[in-house]
Chains A and B, each alone.
Chain A
Amino acid sequence: KAGVTQTPRYLIKTRGQQVTLSCSPISGHRSVSWYQQTPGQGLQFLFEYFSETQRNKGNFPGRFSGRQFSNSRSEMNVSTLELGDSALYLCASSLAVGNSYGYTFGSGTRLTVV
């Protein structure tokens, strides 16, 4: 069965712009979580969506937002991009809210802000 699909794989944006990343979870998975991975800070939790509702949120500014659609696909948006937003953005899906069933991660979207 298909894994977690993230698009696009690579993205270059200019400081001040906004960006939207997409994530399609494994069929049947209803929870989608987003993480930011950087060399300095490692993997950090952004937010989790379940049944089109944000259930949990990490410690990131309001410029980072997301949403989930009725088919469980999710998008995250970053507005007013800063150089420090350059990172690998990972999406993970699971059967239920929280981490009881473990995550399956996608390969990520590599965002570079110039």
Chain B
Amino acid sequence: GENVEQHPSTLSVQEGDSAVIKCTYSDSASNYFPWYKQELGKGPQLIIDIRSNVGEKKDQRIAVTLNKTAKHFSLHITETQPEDSAVYFCAASRAGGGADGLTFGKGTHLIIQP
């Protein structure tokens, strides 16, 4: 089955700086790569996703890049703010019927220092 590795496990950045979280996946058939943000006491919230026919996607301060050849994808957050502090999860799946659900990375605890 799919295996997703996520790094780093903890990331501390100064407010206003950029943060980058990286993930690798093992199943070349995976074609859907979402990123989730989880705040304390809440469920994960989808913040951005990318499909395998796209190399990069951006939404305001958040961007995701995908390298299918190397089987890795990254989340980039620019101009970080205190409300960006949370745990971020990457995931991979073969979208559509027959998929085995999302396979998640272990998460990155992002800490924004004031």
By a beta-carbon cutoff of 8 Å, the part of chain A in contact with chain B is 4, 33, 35, 42-48, 55-56, 58-59, 90, 92, 97-100, 102-108
Contact = CB atoms under 8 A, between A and B. Distances in A.
B97 A55 contact: yes
A16 B102 CA distance: 30
B107 A100 contact: no
B32 A99 contact: yes
Nearest to A45: B101
Contacts of B8: none
Interface residues of A: mostly helix, strand, loop or mixed?
Answer: strand
B95 interface: yes
Contact of B34 (A47, A48, A99): A99
A97 B106 contact: no
Interface of B: 1, 32, 34, 36, 41-46, 49, 89, 91, 93, 95-107
B97 to A, nearest CB: 6
Contacts of B102: 35, 43, 45, 99, 103
B99 A98 contact: yes
B54 to A, nearest CB: 14
A108 B47 CA distance: 18
Contacts of B44: 43, 90, 103, 105
Given A90-B43, A107-B43, A48 B104 contact: no
A45 B98 CA distance: 13
Contact of B46 (A42, A46, A104, A107): A104
Nearest to A41: B106
B81 to A, nearest CB: 23
B50 to A, nearest CB: 11
B104 A43 contact: yes
A16 B2 CA distance: 32
A10 B79 CA distance: 36
B101 A33 contact: yes
B29 to A, nearest CB: 13
